[in-house]
Amino acid sequence: MDRSAQGVLLAFLAYAAYAVSDASVKLLHGSISAYEAVFFGALLGAAALPFIRDPGEGLVGVFRARNRAMWFLRAATAFTGSLGSVTAFTHLSMAEAFSLLFLMPTFVTILSVLFLGEEVRWRRWGAVLLGFVGVLVVLRPGFRELNVGHLGAVVGGLSGAVTVVMLRALGRSETRLSLYGAGLIGPIVGAGLLMLPEFTLPTPMQWLWLLGYGLLMALANVMVMMASNRIQASLVAPAQYSQMIWAILFGYTIFGDGLDAMMGLGVAIIILSGVFTFMRERVRRPRGWRRAPPVHPQ
């Protein structure tokens, strides 16, 4: 198997691992606080650190940053993104949660205009508009009740977009270990402090789902980086949408989720918008992009 085929296979395997990780969170059924789930998930995510660092680089490099403000912003958005996605998967069906988290490419386009001054032509604005139409079809405001899970999914997607735009602007100045480490420190510190008032020791079954959440997320991160070393990012990113297939499959077989015609239409529209946006974005990634960690909506 040549390197390109290996890269594509790794990308699809990585996003399958992400999907199982997300399903593990949902299997907790909110039995422990979202803060506790985020804390242990990030703590277990540290298992990927030895595979991310460059040869001869010590783990203390996690805390080294040339741009301190960017490091802290990366940590903060990792915390809000993780908390938002855990909340989304706790309260929504997997397909619905993913459809809203996949607004991340749309948010990236908007933030790139506002903060990077990028020129956006009508095709990319068309993709943005299409994404919001898809969200309206899924949510059907005024016709169904919305809950905190919907807010969590939007926060998760927006947090991921802030990270993408930040890395696009400043990512070449930092090491991959530092950027990935900030994505762990933020959830560990933020969720760790907030979980203390109501902390309860997880049961053996809860530990099983927490291990699945954190370790599979770490494995997926490593595989995405391995894929990015074999193929260009424009081929890695579209594989992310295979998660929706897993979401529908897991939702139907494990959680008994239904997918009505209107929600299916909205999901399809959002995926189409995201794929089109990624295709338009691929030529704008800076040379140093591969040093940046993968940004999963979670």
Give the pLDDT of residue 266: 85
How many residues would you count in the chain?
Answer: 298
Q: Which residue did the predictor score with more confidence, 281 or 133?
A: 133
When pLDDT is cut at 50, 70 and 90, the band that residue 229 belongs to is confident
Extended beta strands in 146-257, E state: none
Distances (CA, A) of 48 to 25, 143, 157, 221, 285: 19, 44, 23, 8, 24
Give the pLDDT of residue 26: 96
Tokens of 58: 């010590």
Q: For 13-26, how does the pLDDT look when each residue is reduced to its tens digit (9 = 90+)?
A: 998 999 999 999 99
When pLDDT is cut at 50, 70 and 90, the band that residue 101 belongs to is confident
Contact call for residues 289 and 158 (beta carbons, < 8 A): no
When pLDDT is cut at 50, 70 and 90, the band that residue 285 belongs to is very low
In this prediction, residues 101-123 reach a mean pLDDT of 80
Give the pLDDT of residue 110: 85
Contact call for residues 79 and 252 (beta carbons, < 8 A): no
Give the pLDDT of residue 200: 93
Label residue 64 left, alpha or beta by phi (over 0 means left) and psi (-120 to 50 means alpha).
beta
Q: For 157-216, how does the pLDDT look when each residue is reduced to its tens digit (9 = 90+)?
A: 999 888 878 877 766 778 888 888 999 999 999 999 999 999 999 999 999 999 999 999
Q: Say if residue 293's pLDDT is above 50.
A: no
- Radius of gyration, CA atoms only, the chain: 18
The residue extents of the domains of the chain are 3-291
Give the pLDDT of residue 243: 86
Q: For 28-71, how does the pLDDT look when each residue is reduced to its tens digit (9 = 90+)?
A: 999 999 999 999 999 999 999 988 888 888 888 889 888 888 89
When pLDDT is cut at 50, 70 and 90, the band that residue 259 belongs to is confident
When pLDDT is cut at 50, 70 and 90, the band that residue 281 belongs to is low
